[in-house]
Amino acid sequence: MVGRVIKRIYLYLIFLFLYAPIVLLVVYSFNESRSMGRWRGFTLKWYAELFKDTEVLRALYNTLAVAVLSAVIATVIGTAAAIGIHEMGRIKKAIVMNLTYLPVINPDIVTGVSLMLLFVFTKSFTGIGLGFFTMLLAHITFNIPYVILSVMPKLKQLDRHIYEAALDLGATPFYALRKIIIPQIMPGIVTGLLLAFTLSIDDFVISFFTTGSGVSNIAIYVYSMARRGINPKINALSTIMFVTVLALLLIVNKRVSKDNPKPKEDMR
Amino acid sequence: MKKAFKIFGLVIMAVIVVSVFAGCGSAPKAQLKVYNWGDYIGEGVIEEFEKRYNIDVIYETFATNEEMYVKIKGGGADYDVAIPSDYMIERMIKEDMLEKIDFSNVPNYKYIDERFKNLPYDPNNEYSVPYMWGTVGILYNKKMVDEPVDSWKILWNEKYKKQILMLDSSRDSIGVALKMLGYSLNTRNMDELEQAKEALIRQKPLVLSYVGDEVKDMMISGQAALAVVWSGDAVYTKRENPDLDFVIPKEGSNMWVDAMVILKGTKNKKAAEQFINFMCEPEIAFRNTDYIGYSTPHTEAKKMLDPEVLNDRAAYPTEEDLKNCEVFEALSDVIKEYDRVWTEVKAAR
Amino acid sequence: MRRTYYAYPYLVWMAIFIVVPLFLLLFYTFTVTTEEGIRFTLQHINRIWEPIYLTVLLRSILLALICTVICLLIGYPVALILSGKEYSQNKILALLFVIPMWINFLVRTYAWMNLLGKNGVIDMVMNFLHLPSLQLLYTDYAVVLGMVYNFLPFMVLPIYSVLTKMDKSIIEAAQDLGADYITVLKRIIVPLSMPGVISGITMVFMPAVTTFIISRLLGGGQYILIGNLIEQQFIVVGDWHFGSAISFVLTIIILITMGIMRKYDKDYEGGAIW
């Protein structure tokens, strides 16, 4: 009985530790005063200021555009790659999969600076400077492995007799792929897509090194402001981000728990 | 699962629609990429320029000259206009990174005070148009420091442990140490530089943080007693918190000029010159100097200023104050040593 | 049936965006540009072993280790409780642990700046209680706190997921045979949860050792960890050779750590059957 109470208190303390800073952040985003220490009445002015700031809106647009585009492109390339890798011989497969794991285990900062070196190096003959496009390429690059890792398990569960039966019955390989394989691995593809989308939105380090020329995303915006100290506008922005994540997560969780009841492990 | 898929599809659609519209809206507009210091322009100035000339300004800020230089030199980014300081302009001219300005497109250049023309960093006035000028000094809180402040040595006083803010900028911080030791800011003597490094490392336990623009908020809210600041920030912070005062130490300091330049490889030189000319309009120049607190080299803007500001020795120091002040030189041959010293200071504990 | 060519676009992509950049990194690490041209050198690698940088490297590893240990000490009981009888049906609680992981870590770190700063919330509470203010921001404590806060869920979740999958009948069997809770914990639960612990340790240690945001925001501009050193070389100083060299060494450290962890993992799995 005592053990139970202790357990409960312990859990509450941990949740307090995890949530108190965020709750305070949310509360203080409605605070009239600039400084965090004091409460000077309710206001929405920081939100109003935030939405007047064209830089924030531009950063938001960049964040969403990069997330959507990189998630979609990474999902297409990654799904095709997973199907291809699945068919490979044992040794080739091992080599490619190890290569796939490389960006997953490599520290973000190293991936970021090495991509920056590449983009600066190629600028002399492609003419593409650091900016939106390079950031997009970087995001696709770090997203593809996660798509592959989400699709591979579904491919392993696949019953290849159905596919062979389809071919025997006269389906072209592409038709069979579209009608038989893709529908069966669909849950893996969707998971990969959502994972890629969220990872892209969440990323700071790689974007930080691969963008430039005035193109920023929300995370970079928050960093450049936070580096300069407390600012209620960041509180407001953080609150919006928190609420959005919460909403997205509830939707995804509903989907996941319907699809397969075991909780997903984050691979980062 | 279908539902999540649908929602995701809708989001994608929305973004594509938005991007198409945004693309249509901004396609005919010219773009100008401006790279400036943080907090270094009047409110609404950019918007007014955008409206008047129908040019889209992409505005990005940096915290130190070195950061700006690396970003441009690295070749990864392409900006049209930047506002570096004197010594950095000298270096960039030497390394062929700047475009010559066509001054017939910048008629407002006539308002710039003669004192700020023909300076050593751009001897023939071909590459730059002065924007602001100032000094480096100590900003201190009179309630927290009870002794007279007149020397850099106070920044090495154990009494103010964890109450000192230094600039997170290599030339400025090394400069402070060199001046404290009685040497030139532009020393080429490795022995003196080494002594400056040791002084900075010795000082490090006393330093609360190396800072950039956040120094203003931190000093206004009383989070530190002493800070090395650029003079314009002193004008601004004194306005917000009357307990603060600014002094140029007796050992002398750095006097600097920040000027607008056009970068090599700009795709829109015309717009860049329009921008520089716009910034030199008396009304705009006044709004800039009035808002950010830095001293203007613009004769007309200066006339519009509050006499109180003109009498403020932080903003417009007397000849006496500037007696021991030096201007930074590019030091291209030994600048690597300065970089190394700074890296070691930062890495030290 | 052979559709391996489906993977070709990916292979080309990886070659360009993973392999080439890593070679560029190696190139910068081992070269120097002089008047005579580019030549091979070890000077950048050697520079890292100068005491001043070595200290930074060791401090980063030490702080990451401290953070990992704290996360393990706090996190293991959490995972144990969450997977226990009372709470195992409660999916919401587990979800509550996931949520912070999905909030952008910049926001999470920024939240602590509000708490720790002078005139911040903690200071205000201390003032209210007439206690001296703590001056936590810009110290080691703030950085470790920020790391633990950010990475704790990465420790809890893998352990939790291993513990929930564990065959409960083994524990019951042990208890039937007279083992008390401590013995069960020591002889069954902890050994069986090792894979979770190991992946938890890697998932906390890696980001902790490479972070430059937490140290910058909570440690201040004078606080340098290995990540800040890299960032500084690429963003402020512009010495890409030295920056690449540090990145290279960091990658090696990470790979070695991974190797060790994986070896322990395997050893354990091999012995698990007995």
pLDDT at B194 over 90: yes
Select from C206, C262, C248 the least CA-distant residue to A105. C206
Stretch among A115-124, A257-266, B41-50 having the lowest mean pLDDT = A257-266
- Please check whether residues B197 and B292 belong to one and the same domain: no
For residue A55, the chain B residues in CB contact (below 8 A) are 59
pLDDT over 90, % of chain A: 30
- Please check whether residues B192 and B332 belong to one and the same domain: yes
Q: Is the dihedral of CA A143, A144, A146, A147 positive or negative?
A: positive
Return the residue of C nearest to A118 by Cα: C21
Q: What is the DSSP letter of B111?
A: G
Q: What is the DSSP letter of B213?
A: T
Please give the pLDDT value at position A160.
78
Q: Which tops the pLDDT comparison, B258 or A127? A: B258
User: Which of B2, B6, B12 is the mutation pick for testing A, counting most A CBs within 10 A?
Assistant: B12
Select from A20, A219, A43 the least CA-distant residue to C114. A20
Residues with Cβ within 8 Å of residue C75, at least 6 apart in sequence: C152, C155, C156, C159, C200
- Please check whether residues B270 and B305 belong to one and the same domain: yes
Please give the pLDDT value at position B222.
86
Its domain, for residue B7, covers: 2-133+257-310
pLDDT at C266 over 70: no
pLDDT over 70, % of chain A: 92
- Please check whether residues B326 and B196 belong to one and the same domain: yes
Return the residue of A nearest to C149 by Cα: A18
pLDDT at B102 over 80: yes
pLDDT one-digit tens code per residue, B173-190: 999 999 999 999 999 999
pLDDT one-digit tens code per residue, B308-320: 888 888 889 988 8
Q: Does A138 touch chain B (CB under 8 A)?
A: no
CA B123 to the chain's CA centroid: 21
Cβ distance B76 to A224 less than 8 Å, yes or no, reads no
CA C93 to the chain's CA centroid: 23
* Assigned token pair, B4: 């999540």
pLDDT at A252 over 90: no
For residue B3, name the pLDDT band (cuts at 50, 70, 90): low
Question: In one letter, which amino acid is B313?
Answer: R
Q: What is the DSSP letter of C273?
A: T
- Please check whether residues B222 and B336 belong to one and the same domain: yes
For residue C151, give Cα distances in angstroms to B294, C69, C94, C156: 43, 11, 16, 9
Average pLDDT rounded to a whole number, residues A25-33: 86
Q: Choose among A55, A213, A255: nearest Cβ to B77.
A: A213
Please give the pLDDT value at position A267.
39
Contact residues, chain B to chain A, C-beta under 8 Å: 1, 3-5, 7-8, 11-12, 15-16, 18-19, 22, 33-35, 38, 58-61, 71, 74-79, 212-214, 217-218, 221
Nearest CA to CA, how far is B106 from chain C (Å)? 32
User: What is the number of structural domains in chain A?
Assistant: 1
pLDDT one-digit tens code per residue, C154-189: 999 899 989 988 888 888 888 888 888 888 888 888
Stretch among A261-265, B96-100, B165-169, B299-303 having the lowest mean pLDDT = A261-265
Please give the pLDDT value at position B14.
59
Cβ distance C110 to A234 less than 8 Å, yes or no, reads yes
pLDDT at B27 over 70: no
Cβ distance A224 to B214 less than 8 Å, yes or no, reads no
Please give the pLDDT value at position B2.
52
Dist CA C144 CA B176 (whole Å): 32
- Please check whether residues B291 and B337 belong to one and the same domain: no
- Please check whether residues B207 and B268 belong to one and the same domain: no
Contact residues, chain B to chain C, C-beta under 8 Å: 64, 66-67, 69-71, 73-74, 162, 166, 168, 170, 204, 207-212, 221-223, 339, 342-344, 346-349
**Residue A189 is assigned to a structural domain of this protein:** yes
Cβ distance B59 to A55 less than 8 Å, yes or no, reads yes
**Residue A145 is assigned to a structural domain of this protein:** yes
- Bridge partners of C37, per DSSP, are C34
Please give the pLDDT value at position B61.
86
Q: Does C90 touch chain A (CB under 8 A)?
A: no
Q: For position B82, which CATH number holds? A: 3.40.190.10
User: Which of A5, A8, A17, A18 is the mutation pick for testing C, counting most C CBs within 10 A?
Assistant: A18
Contact C187, C170 (CB under 8 A): no
Dist CA A168 CA C191 (whole Å): 51
Please give the pLDDT value at position B28.
58
Mean pLDDT of chain B: 89
Return the residue of C nearest to B212 by Cα: C221
**Residue A142 is assigned to a structural domain of this protein:** yes
Q: Does C190 touch chain A (CB under 8 A)?
A: no
pLDDT over 70, % of chain B: 91
DSSP string, A174-210: HHHIIIIIHHHHHHHHHHHHHHHHHHHHH--HHHHHH
User: What is the number of structural domains in chain B?
Assistant: 2
Residues with Cβ within 8 Å of residue C178, at least 6 apart in sequence: none
Question: In one letter, which amino acid is B164?
Answer: I
Please give the pLDDT value at position C4.
82
Q: Choose among B166, B221, B342: nearest Cβ to C119.
A: B221
For residue B341, give Cα distances in angstroms to B185, B194, B327, C23, C213: 14, 8, 20, 29, 23
Cβ neighbours of B257 (radius 10 Å): 23
Q: Choose among A124, A214, A228: nearest Cβ to B58.
A: A214
- Please check whether residues B149 and B88 belong to one and the same domain: no
CB pairs under 8 A between A and B: 78
pLDDT one-digit tens code per residue, C14-29: 999 999 999 999 999 9
Please give the pLDDT value at position C120.
78
Please give the pLDDT value at position C68.
97
pLDDT over 90, % of chain C: 44
Cβ distance B69 to C238 less than 8 Å, yes or no, reads yes
* Assigned token pair, A215: 């193109």
User: Which of A68, A114, A211 is the mutation pick for testing B, counting most B CBs within 10 A?
Assistant: A68
Average pLDDT rounded to a whole number, residues A150-177: 86
For residue A123, the chain B residues in CB contact (below 8 A) are 75-76
pLDDT one-digit tens code per residue, B245-285: 999 999 999 999 999 999 998 989 999 999 999 999 999 99
pLDDT at C274 over 50: no
pLDDT at C272 over 50: no
Mean pLDDT of chain A: 85
For residue A263, name the pLDDT band (cuts at 50, 70, 90): very low
- Please check whether residues B110 and B149 belong to one and the same domain: no
pLDDT one-digit tens code per residue, C82-137: 888 777 677 777 778 777 777 888 888 988 988 887 777 888 888 888 888 777 88
pLDDT over 90, % of chain B: 67
Q: What is the DSSP letter of B254?
A: B
Please give the pLDDT value at position A261.
44
- Please check whether residues B293 and B303 belong to one and the same domain: yes
pLDDT at A35 over 70: no
pLDDT one-digit tens code per residue, C195-206: 999 989 988 999
pLDDT at B34 over 60: yes
Please give the pLDDT value at position A265.
41
User: Which of C114, C202, C206 is the mutation pick for testing A, counting most A CBs within 10 A?
Assistant: C114
Q: Choose among B1, B11, B33: nearest Cβ to A213.
A: B33
Mean pLDDT of chain C: 86
Please give the pLDDT value at position B92.
94
User: What residue spans define the domains of chain C?
Assistant: 42-272
Classify domain C42-272 by CATH number. 1.10.3720.10
Cβ distance A255 to B1 less than 8 Å, yes or no, reads yes
Segment of A201-215, B78-92, C247-261 carrying the highest mean pLDDT: B78-92
Dist CA C226 CA C56 (whole Å): 6
pLDDT one-digit tens code per residue, A184-203: 899 999 989 988 988 898 89
* Assigned token pair, B118: 């023909």
pLDDT at A143 over 90: yes
**Residue A22 is assigned to a structural domain of this protein:** no
